Amino acid sequence: MKHRLKLLPISLILLLFTLNFHAQENNLELNEAEYFEAPGVNILAFSNWYNGLFSDSKISGIEIIQQGVRTATNGDVRLHSTPEQWDDIPTFSERKVDVENNSIDTYQHYPEFDFEYMIRARAEGRNLYLSVHLEKPLPEELKGRAGLNLEFLPSAYWEKTYYMDEEPGIFPLYPADEMLKNDQAVTAPKAISSGNRLVLAPDDKSRMVDIQSMDQNLMLFDGRNKAQNGWYVVRSLLPGNRTGKVLEWKVTVNSTVGWTRKPVIAHSQVGYHPKQQKVAVIELDRNDKIASEIELQRINRSGERETVISGKPERWGEFTRYQYYKFDFSGATDSGLYSIKYGDVVSDPFPIDTEVYNEAWHPTNDIFFPVQMDHMIVNEAYRVWHGASHLDDALQAPVSTEHFDLYAQGPTTDTPYSPGEHIPGLNVGGWYDAGDYDIRTQTQYHVVNNLVHAYEDFNLNRDQTLVDYEAKYVDIHNPDGKPDVLQQIQHGTLALVAQFDAVGHAIPGIIVPDISQYTHLGDGLTMTDNLIYDKELGELEVKGNRSGKFDDRWAFTSKSSALNYGSIAALAAASRVLGSINDTLAEKSLKIARKVWEDEQSSEPSLFRHGNTTGGDLNQEEFKAAVELLISTRENTYARRIEELWPKIDSNFAAYAQGAIRIYDLMSTDFQDKLKNRALQYKEEIKTFKEDNPFGVPIGRGGWAGNGQVINFGITNYLLHKKFPEIIDENEVFQSLNYIYGTHPDSSISFVSGVGTRSKKVAYGMNRADFSFISGGIVPGILILKPDFPENKEDWPFLWGENEYVVNVGASYIYLVNAVNSLLEEVE
């Protein structure tokens, strides 16, 4: 019997062809940037490494980017089910990319355990196979401890579901899982669920991930049970007594054919002055096509929109993973509210008006700085931000000690005090450095310097805060007749002077000794009983102003000439402005500055260095001290030293330019000529930023995002423009502030909380566990994860490199806003 070939209907053939074509389109492939890519999916394999300064910063290992959002990180072998920041991390050895086999092998080890391993990430079709390979069996002490982890961002999975095998579940909004204790009384969360196959977010294709373990059990944990910054963790333990490929997962990240990221219209959320240049930057997916037109629309009082300017945006090119276009609407000068429309995307509304910058610095002045004040009760209406903390400051740090937060004490104390002895007089002034509670001297003197120049250059007499040192009380929204900026300068100066009074030199800083205190969130007062520690007393015993509770901060006191110079620069500057509110402190500040300068100039420099707490470059810090002393005294000895430092100024002009311009009129004609010629070279040098990115500013590539650098760039350009307007254009100043306000990659959010139509509402301050913000705080901004992913998360505050407030950036921001306003007032 003959069998006839049965022909399939043409519609079914086309359907099968289409499904097969789409399946191929969904395949993961290694791209030129050496990560795996499919439509709407990127999987990085150790493109980034753990932060060398702060251990685990959630930017390492296997990482998943799904529809433009990084949702998973830290795919690696870890020794805990829910690792915390300072838990053990491996040492990186080697990364091998095999394009032919569509795989990446990464070699690592834990030296303490003599444990080496390799992780292979291999793409096959739509799947990524993650496997762990061992040449030697797992060390005995790591059995039941070492496992393959992959961490998922909680905020990306809130209000979403999962399947573990056939069992359904809902991702917990808040951690409330059972905690278990081991034999050492160490707690760890019990797994939420376990099985062989986990499907995350089957209800949401944009977040759906399917993980199958080919041999070992999968477990799902909620790391927030151990720490508020924990992530959801998927984990399989490594088996003992095996070599070769000991563990493998098949990971399928849902891919969507034809997906393109929604365009971003990057613009200033604060708005624009009528007379300034106005340029929006359009950020597009690399696979997107440019729309025919873009429109500037004016919004009238009835809510109607009228197109004011339209046209085709001008292509700039590619930066990181996106393509960029520019839209210049400088011709719009009428006061009013506007928005920009590109295709189906409409920007947040923003004003064009002569007053847009007048109040933009007020939240930083009125709220952020008072909230950061240490050693004071800080009240705002019905709210107490924190009590008067750390009134027991501080104990001498032990010698030859390296702290976990970049402080260190050298082989001697460099003070009259013995390790553990109380150093009196340090419990005054200073600001909480950032989202934590240390007083980092290098930060303190930068704040004082910037605020002094802001006060001098722009006459900032705003008064909205009461500061009462006798009561140790600060009351926000309560004028007390004294300019707030002067009171903040005084607060920083008190802390700097206290160091010289106590030990005779500047110190790296004051910080809690224990991680359990360091990770404290909330009111700083609850970190300490405010009583001086006395080791002779029992832990619960109190006598007078002393107690046996070891909760006092350590003072790291190793002498550093760079810190001395940086501190006396601030003191010399403060002496010029504090006379109206504290003439005694003003006189004392200048006296200390002069004496310490003489001491440093007549002796060999102290070169103790550690982390980022012992001052900047020695020559730069000496230069700054000479500049401020020259401005304060007009004495030639400081001018002569500045002349001698010209080779340093010339070789690193951007770092010296601000100070050099400030003393321009006090220097010789030869110095002035050299400075002007160097400004001409600088003009050519900064063109590289316009070639590098469409925003025209220096965008950093480190583990800490670069808003501070961008602001400083704007200040430098302002001072150069004021002195040499024919060389440096005013737009070199405006673009820095526009960047901070929203004209930047990834989004159009203002990086100043509470400033602009849409601004940072979730940030890394002392309040970060509440997913809230401190008005006027400035976050670090866009972090560019290697090789090409710009990120700033608005739904997860705990990524400090993107979202941590720091006070020195706040001070420089106050200067830049007023600089821009000053330029525009001159135009008017």
Residues 721, 658: Cα–Cα separation, whole Å: 11
Q: What is the pLDDT of residue 7?
A: 46
Q: Are 302 and 263 in contact (CB under 8 A)?
A: no
- Residue labelled with tokens 């760890």: 188
Please determine, for residue 706, whether its predicted confidence score (pLDDT) is greater than 90.
yes
**pLDDT at 25 (0 to 100):** 75
Instruction: Please say whether the beta carbons of 377 and 388 come within 8 A.
Output: yes
Query: In terms of C-beta density within 10 A (0-12 exposed, 13-18 middle, 19 or more buried), how is residue 344 classed?
Result: exposed
pLDDT in tens, 198-234: 999 999 999 999 999 988 999 999 999 999 999 999 9
pLDDT digits (tens, 9 = 90+) for 53-97: 677 889 999 999 999 999 999 999 999 999 998 899 999 999 999
Phi, psi of 308 (to 5 degrees): -100, -45
Q: Is the pLDDT of residue 5 over 80?
A: no
Q: Can you give the three-state secondary structure of 206-228, one letter per residue?
A: CCCEEEEECCCCEEEEEHHHCCC
Q: Residues 137, 240: contact at Cβ < 8 Å?
A: yes
234 and 297 both lie in a single domain? no
**DSSP 8-state code for residue 706:** -
CA 425 – CA 357 distance, rounded (Å): 40
Mean pLDDT (the chain, rounded): 95
Q: What is the mean pLDDT of residues 282-288?
A: 95
**What is the total residue count of the chain?**
828
User: Same structural domain for residues 574 and 445?
Assistant: yes
Last residue of a domain, one of 644, 670, 699: 644
Residue 503 lies in a domain: yes
Q: Domain for residue 3, yes or no?
A: no
Q: Are residues 53 and 154 in the same domain?
A: yes
CATH number, domain with residue 291: 2.60.40.10
Q: Indicate the pLDDT class of residue 435, thresholds 50, 70 and 90.
A: confident
533 and 492 within one domain: yes
Task: Tell whether 743 is covered by a domain.
Answer: no
**What single string gives the DSSP state of each residue in 619-676?**
HHHHHHHHHHHHHHH--HHHHHHHHHTHHHHHHTHHHHHHHHHHTGGGS-HHHHHHHH
pLDDT of residue 21: 43
Q: Residue 545, SS3? A: coil
- Report whether pLDDT(14) > 80: no
Residue 611 phi/psi, 5° resolution?
A: 55, -140
In a domain, 397, yes or no: yes
Distance CA 437, CA 824 (A): 38
Here the CATH number for the domain that contains residue 409 is 1.50.10.10
Residue 1 has pLDDT above 60, yes or no: no
Judge whether residue 373 has pLDDT over 90: yes
What's the domain range around 538? 360-644
Tokens describing residue 217: 């059990």
Distance between CA atoms of 615 and 505, rounded to whole angstroms? 13
The answer to whether residues 776 and 366 touch, using CB atoms and an 8 Å cutoff, is yes
Segment 592-599 mean pLDDT? 98
Q: Do 231 and 280 reside in the same domain of the chain?
A: no
Using CA atoms, how far apart are residues 557 and 580, in angstroms rounded to an integer?
A: 32
Residue 647 has pLDDT above 90, yes or no: yes
pLDDT tens-digit readout, 35-60: 999 999 999 999 999 876 677 889 99
Pair 324, 375 in one domain: no
Residue 274: count of CB within 10 angstroms of its CB: 17
Q: Is 268 found in the same domain as 244?
A: no
Mean pLDDT of 798-827: 96
Does 509 lie in the same domain as 433? yes
Average pLDDT of the residues in 463-481? 98
Q: Is the peptide bond before 23 cis (omega within 30 degrees of 0)?
A: no
- The CATH number covering residue 248 comes to 2.70.98
465 in a structural domain:
yes
Residues 237 and 274 in one domain: no
**Residue matched to tokens 């006061």:** 335
| 117 lies in the same domain as 55 | yes
**Are 277 and 267 in contact, with CB atoms under 8 Å apart?**
no
Asked which of 234, 253, 272 is the last residue of a domain, the reply is 253
The two beta strands, 554-556 and 395-396, are parallel
Cα–Cα distance between 409 and 403 in angstroms, integer? 8
Q: Would you state the pLDDT for residue 51?
A: 74
Whether 347 and 440 share a structural domain: no
Tell me how crowded residue 759 is: count the other CB atoms within 10 A of its CB.
23
Which residue among 207, 222, 253 closes a domain?
Answer: 253
**In whole angstroms, what is the distance from residue 445 CA to residue 489 CA?**
10
For residue 20, pLDDT beyond 60: no
21-40 pLDDT tens trace: 455 678 999 999 999 999 99
767 located within any domain: no
Give pLDDT tens digits for 609-628.
999 999 999 999 999 999 99
598 in the same domain as 487: yes
- Whether 300 maps to a domain, the answer reads yes
**Is the residue at 705 inside a domain?**
no
**Would the pLDDT of 525 be above 60?**
yes
Is the peptide bond prior to 394 cis by the omega test (within 30 degrees of 0)? yes
**Pairwise CA distance, residues 522 & 525, whole Å:** 9
Number of domains in the chain: 3
